[in-house]
Copies of this chain bind each other. A is one copy, B any other.
Amino acid sequence: MSHSVYGRLMSVDRTQVLHAAAALLTRKATATMDEVARAAGIGRATLHRHFAGRDALVRALEELGLQEMEGALDRAGLDDGPEDEALRRLVAEVEHVAPLLSFLVTENQLFEGDQQHVGWARLDARVSALFRSGQESGVFRIDLTPAWLTEAFYGLVGSGAWAVQDGRVAAKDFQYMIAELLLGGARRSVEK
C-alpha cells in the first residue's frame, strides 16, 4: 500500500500542471482549457478531472501561488540581517514561483466583488514590512513608499520571468538582474 503522498495514486503532478498553466495564462489569458491542457502535457479530459472548470483552475492557481509565496517568504528569513541582503534572498527564493506570481498579480479577475483577497493582503504586508523595516534601519531610502517598492518588486519579478522565458535574459542572471536593479537602479553610482 504505497499509495502516494496524499492517498491517491499519483500520475499527473498537480503542481507541475498548475505551473505550466500559469506560464501559459500569463501571456495568453484567453487561452482555451484545451490549450492549457496541451501546455501541461496532458489531455483535456484529464485536466477536467483535476479541475472542475476554468474557475476552479484559477482558484487552484491562486491557492498554490499564495502557498508557494508564503513558503518563499519563510525560507528567505526576512528578519535576519540587513534588509538588502534579505531582499536578495527573497528574490532567489521567488525565482521558481515567478510565472505563478506574475499570473496572480496580473489577473485580478480573482478579486470577486471589490475587496482584496485576504491571503494577498498578508503577502503584501510581509513584503511591505521588509521595505519599511529597511527604511527604518537606514538601508533603504525613505522617499519611495513601501507600497510602491512592493508593487515594483512584483513587477520586476514578472518582467524578469518573462525576459528569461523569452530568451532576452539568461536564466542564470535572473536573480542578479532583479536584485541589482531593485536595490541599486540603473544609474552608475558615484560612490559604491
Taking CB atoms, residues of chain B closer than 8 Å to A147 are: 163, 168-169
A151 within 8 A of B: yes
A11 within 8 A of B: no
Instruction: Output the nearest chain B residue to A140 by Cβ-Cβ distance.
Output: B186
Shortest beta-carbon distance from A69 to chain B in Å: 17
In the bound complex, do residue A30 and residue B30 qualify as a contact, i.e. CB atoms below 8 Å apart?
yes
Instruction: Output the nearest chain B residue to A163 by Cβ-Cβ distance.
Output: B151
In the bound complex, do residue A185 and residue B183 qualify as a contact, i.e. CB atoms below 8 Å apart?
yes
Complex formed: what's the CA distance from A147 to B159 in Å?
Answer: 11
Taking CB atoms, residues of chain B closer than 8 Å to A183 are: 185-187
Determine, out of A39-47, A60-68, A70-78, A174-182, the stretch whose residues face the partner at the interface.
A174-182
Q: With A149-B186, A155-B156 in contact, do A29 and B141 touch (Cβ < 8 Å)?
A: no
Task: State the copy count for this chain.
Answer: 2
Complex formed: what's the CA distance from A115 to B80 in Å?
Answer: 45
In the bound complex, do residue B190 and residue A131 qualify as a contact, i.e. CB atoms below 8 Å apart?
no
In the bound complex, do residue B185 and residue A182 qualify as a contact, i.e. CB atoms below 8 Å apart?
yes
Complex formed: what's the CA distance from A33 to B160 in Å?
Answer: 31
Complex formed: what's the CA distance from A187 to B141 in Å?
Answer: 6
A188 within 8 A of B: yes
Complex formed: what's the CA distance from A147 to B160 in Å?
Answer: 11
Known: A140-B186, A145-B177, A151-B168. 18 other contacts (CB 8 A): A84-B186, A87-B186, A138-B188, A139-B187, A141-B186, A144-B177, A148-B181, A149-B186, A152-B156, A152-B159, A154-B159, A156-B156, A184-B187, A185-B185, A189-B190, A189-B191, A190-B191, A191-B191
A-B pairs, top 5 by smallest CB distance, nearest first, are A155-B159, A185-B185, A29-B29, A191-B191, A184-B185
Q: Which A residues fall within an 8 A CB radius of B?
A: 26-30, 84, 87, 106-109, 131, 134, 138-145, 147-149, 151-152, 154-156, 158-160, 162-163, 168-169, 173, 177, 180-192
